[in-house]
Amino acid sequence: MSKRKLFIDYDLTIVDSIAAFAKTYNSYYGHHDRFIPADPDKITSYDFKCICPLIENNDMKMAMWESELFFEFVDFIDSDTLPVLEKLNDAYELIICSIGTPKNIALKSFWLERHLPFINNYILINNGNCEMNKSIVNMHGAIQIDDIPSNLEGNSELKILFGKEFPWNRGWYGKRCKNWKEVKMMLL
């Protein structure tokens, strides 16, 4: 009997990308005379300008997302992430589904191989013009967990918005899990 598919986002779902981005920024720009350390707890927009004011354009921001240093700083979003994913792997077919630039998604795949070797299936989407939508992926009958409402617009059967509330994910009225303990309670 085949397992039900569970599509899981990477950034801000499995890993704390905001903290990794802030640490990368602090490493790159710490020597600048107008430097103020980026505080991930003060983020109000996903463009990071609110905590990383020295990033002046999209190319500079993309360079951070594509940095090997960023992936050295990336860590699980909470201490329950890995144990819950291991248990979910017994009950579901786990598939990582994430959006990024070609270099970013290549580095994501290396990170996933190292930290989640029991998950073999990835769908890594080149974001081209940075459109945040995963409806290109057929998730019919599956469960989907993501931190961005527009990524949940596809045909998955059960849609779960993950994580704490941010300005970019307000207004979601469907199912929501704030952490991996809540995911475990809902799905296991």
With beta carbons less than 8 A apart as the criterion, state whether 176 and 164 touch.
Answer: no
Handedness of CA 172, 127, 63, 77 (dihedral sign): positive
pTM of the model: 0.94
Using the predicted structure, report yes or no on whether residue 34 has a pLDDT greater than 70.
yes
Using the predicted structure, report yes or no on whether residue 148 has a pLDDT greater than 70.
yes
**The pLDDT of residue 91:** 97
**pLDDT band (50, 70, 90) for residue 152:** very high
Q: How many CB atoms lie within 10 A of CB 98?
A: 25
The CA distance from 79 to 65, in Å, is: 23
**The pLDDT of residue 59:** 87
Q: Which helix (H) or strand (E) holds 82?
A: helix 81-91
Q: Does domain 4-16+76-187 have CATH number 3.40.50.1980?
A: no
**The pLDDT of residue 133:** 79
Task: List 130's β-bridge partners, or say none.
Answer: none
**DSSP string covering 37-59, please?**
---GGG--STT-TTT-TT--SHH
| Summary mean pLDDT of the chain | 94
**Spans of all domains in the chain:** 4-16+76-187, 17-73
First to last CA, the chain: 18
Q: At a CB cut-off of 8 Å and minimum separation 6, what does 144 contact?
A: 6, 7, 8, 97, 134, 151, 152, 154, 156, 158, 159, 160
In tens, the pLDDT along 70-95 reads 999 999 999 999 999 999 999 999 99
**pLDDT band (50, 70, 90) for residue 57:** confident
**pLDDT band (50, 70, 90) for residue 154:** confident
